[in-house]
Structure 1
Amino acid sequence: MEDIYEKILWEGYGLRFYSGTRTRTGLVCKTDKGLRELKKARERMNSIRYAHDVKECLYRNGFTVISRFYNAMDGQPCFVKDGTIYVLEELLPAASMEEEKEEAFIKGAETLGRMHFCAKGLESNFAQWDTGRLPAQFTKRRIELAKIKRRIQRQGGYDAIDLLVMEHYDTYMEHTQQAEALLQQADYPKLVEQAKKEGTFCHQSYKGENLRVGDDGRLYVGGFEGCSSDIPLLDLVAYLKRYMKKTNGSKAGVMQILEAYEKNNPLEEDEKILLQALAIYPEKFLRLINEYYNKRRACVSPAMQERLALAAEEEERTKDLLCFIQEVQP
């Protein structure tokens, strides 16, 4: 296997490969120019190019706690070998941030706000904006939920997942309708146009292995490969939901997280309303039931049943999260 890494590093980057150590994210390579991390990219070429533009913008604007891509010898931020795309990155600190204490989430929120602020001015030929994405998605999922209920009622006998859907149907239908109303109140298309004009992005995976703590105590951010052209608030609400999931989530904690984020990236009134819409929307549960009923098998998958049950538990906290956000926002 080392032969392929040697070829990639030499043919793509002009580096000599001495040895490698596997990690969860890739291969740490010892080369004649120092340590580098080599990864197989799961995304398409243009997604990598967009992520490269995002990183370079952040770095220019002073957000340097990231792992930038090394350009291959052809000038691209990746290298293709036998049809597989590889990226070579600077090495991040090894220690992941522990997401069990409120203090960690507050620190993470401050870094997130600074990252979003430093992305302003982003220009990329590979950005793909869609001003109607969320309203269309919310409406589509609501209609699908109603169809699933009718389908369950028509078939007669219920399995475990059918029962789970019926148990939560009224709650999630109410939450989805509430999210749609708030989305309209926030004037979502206007906010997307504003984000597009400012030049910003959504990381899409600001959590877990992508957050590393350096020896200097600073928080480093990786995992940019899946980032997208979208409203940054998607990152913030996902982080708040993760806080509610990983801790005993409190009103005081939500207030401190929002204050930490707004130190560097203050929210406008319409953005605060959008945050409420995203907080109450049961995205994970609706996505999973849509996946299950569109690919339904002859028997219930225990794994899917467990995933849905866990998603339902997480969604129970969304109403608390919405209340906390409404109470702490002026």
Structure 2
Amino acid sequence: MAKRKEEKELLDVFDSYGADPDVLREWDLEVEKVRQVRGVLRIKTAVGTRALKKVNVAEGRVRFVQQVIDHLANKGFHDAPRFIRTKYGDPYVVHSTGIYYLTDWRPGKEADLKKTKNIFLAAETMAKLHNAGIGFAGGGFGQETREDFSAQWGKFRAKLSSYDANLEELREQTGMDDSYRQHREELVKMIDHASEQLARSPYPQIIEWARENRTICHGSFSRQNLIVEKERMAVVDFDHCHFGHPLHDLGALLTRYMPRFKWEASIGFSILDVYRAVREISAEEMTVLAAYLSFPKRTLEVVEAYFERKRDWDAERFSSRFRKQLALDEGREMFVQDLIARYGLNLSAPSFAPHLEGLESYDDLEAMESSSVESRADGWEAPEAHAVDLSESASIHEREESSEVRLASHEKGLEERRTDSRSVLPDAAPRIKPRRKQKPGPWRPGR
């Protein structure tokens, strides 16, 4: 009876995840325990713990991801779990319920990026990934570039007009409506300024460099996908990886996590210094990065979520979050001002964000981040609720700075940064595995 109960519980987990446990036979896995953790199944087997993921995308996209991870490993970046081939040699399984791939389960916990040691480790790991990502010779899906900042910013600018029309509808006005009206012009000035600075920057040149060198970005370098064990960080979930300039990842990291440090310049400069110690940032790249950070992305995301109903929040919560983000925009602009001054960049410093007082609490900044299923943690039991320690000192050990900080020219050393492009040949398409009721072969407790 106990065995039947155990089997039912396992099958219930697979059913809830939308997976067919029969695919496990492709790897001859004997399953002991299964648990869903975020978007994957954590599977304990006789030969170790594995992560099984099901995706519903084009097969070419999955092949692209697998080839990117293999390329990184071949270039010396071993902190991304590789696809485990089936007993037939296939890198993944095409099944009637989706495409499945299997990797090792990386032990550790999700990176708490409120801790300075973890944000610095994330910057170092990202730089290593970017170095290894140069020269990827794969093709097919993933060749699209997502670093077209100007197009993205133009869409946000256009959306504001549609939101204005929304305010004219006959409906009860909320506090968020009032806050938006009050600060709309400041948002417009921030958007237009960032767009102007990007247009003045060597943006086309660095994008051309990225295309010539076929550089890879992770595309979702966030705390959910960074696993820390002791002093080492692993990067998981490459489902959004793509060809693009490394600034796409670096700019997103700063935009997402510097607000937690209220854009304190010493921390931001240390993040950049840690990254630069592994992968140099050219003068041209730093100029584009400063223009990128001039854009009020996080604030506009709150506005977008409100008017497009992307969050199930009441108007009061939206208004509070909007005003907090505006207050943080002031710190962001001050950081960009310091960045321009420190590196002598040929840009105009932004200064359009309003000065808002009485918004000391920023504890809900994680609310806009995705959270599929639950936090990742070691152990098979559901993690107990625990208070987040916000008392950790944000002290850092900065390098002694000279009065002038120099950046390498983008052209200087370009040949040294180029690497040989070893071909990554596409694998033969895996055989399609239809849904089956039963088949001989191990997966426990099935027979």
Structure 1 residue 310: Cα displacement: 5.3
Cα deviation for residue 251 of structure 1 reads 1.5
What SS class does the counterpart of residue 242 from structure 2 fall into?
A: coil
Aligned AA for 1:284? R
User: Among 262, 280, 297, which residue is 1:266 paired with?
Assistant: 280
Which residue of the partner structure matches residue 157 of structure 2? 142
Task: Find out whether 1:186 has 2:201 as its counterpart.
Answer: yes
Q: Which amino acid aligns with 2:122?
A: G
Q: Given the alignment, which residue of 197, 219, 222 partners 1:204?
A: 219
Partner of 2:338: 324
TM superposition shift of 1:259: 1.0
> Relative to 1, partners in 2 of residues 1:133 and 1:252: Cα closer, same or farther, differing over 3 Å?
closer
Q: CA contact under 8 A between 1:63 and 1:118: conserved in structure 2?
A: yes
1:2 aligns with 2:10: yes
1:235-314 correspondence to structure 2 within 5 Å:
235-290=249-304, 292-294=306-308, 308-309=322-323, 311-314=325-328
> 1:168-183 alignment to 2 at 5 Å?
168-183=183-198
Q: Contact 2:34 / 2:43 at 8 angstroms: preserved in 1? A: yes
Moved more, 254-263 or 83-92: 83-92
CA 62–294 in structure 1, closer or farther in 2 if over 3 Å, else same: same
**Is this contact kept in 1: 2:217–2:248, CA < 8 A?**
yes
In 2: Cα distance, 1:153 partner to 1:55 partner? 50
Q: Which residue identity does 1:172 align to in structure 2?
A: L
Q: Give the secondary-structure state (helix, strand or coil) at the position aligned to 1:224.
A: coil
Any stretches of 5+ residues in structure 1 without a counterpart? none
Identical counterparts, % of pairs: 24
- Stretches of structure 2 that go unaligned for 5 or more consecutive residues are 1-8, 15-19, 345-447
Residue 52 (structure 2) aligns with? 38
Contact in 1 for aligned 2:202/2:287 (Cα 8 Å): no
Give the corresponding residue for 1:89.
103
| Matches of 1:107 and 1:131, distance apart in 2 | 25
8 Å contact kept, 2:176–2:315 = no
Cα RMSD, aligned residues only: 3.0
Q: Which amino acid aligns with 1:240?
A: L
Q: Which residue of 1 aligns with 2:80?
A: 66
Q: Deviations over 1:271-302 (max 9, x none)?
A: 11110121111223334434543569xx9656
Q: Give the structure with the higher percent helix.
A: 1
Could you tell me the TM-score, scaled by structure 1's length?
0.85
1:63-90: per-residue Cα shift (whole Å, max 9, x none)? 1111112234565543233332322111
Structure whose CA Rg is larger: 2
- For residues 288 and 246 of structure 1, what CA distance do their matches in structure 2 show? 16
Match of 2:388 in 1: none
Using the TM superposition, give the Cα deviation of residue 305 of structure 1 relative to its aligned residue in structure 2, in angstroms: 5.1
Quote how far apart the aligned CAs of 1:106 are.
1.8
Note the alpha carbon deviations across 1:44-70, whole angstroms, 9 max, x for none.
533332222221111111111111122
Cα pair distance change 1:49/1:315, threshold 3 Å: farther
Structure with higher RCO (Cα < 8 A, 6+ apart): 2
Cα drift, residue 181 of structure 1 = 1.4
Q: Relative to structure 2, which stretch is displaced further, 310-319 or 147-156? A: 147-156
Tell me which amino acid in the other structure corresponds to 2:190.
H
Aligned residues: 327
For 2:90 and 2:198, the matched residues in 1 are separated by 39
Match of 1:133 in 2: 148
SS of 2:269's equivalent in the other structure is helix
CA contact (8 A) 1:36 1:89 kept: yes
Say whether the 8 Å CA contact 2:225–2:237 is kept in structure 1. Answer: yes
In structure 2, relative to structure 1, the CA distance for the partners of 1:63 and 1:276 (3 Å cut) is: same
Amino acid at match of 2:200: Q
Provide the residue aligned with 1:56 in structure 2.
70
Q: Structure 1 residues 9, 151: CA separation in 2 closer, same or farther (over 3 Å shift)?
A: closer
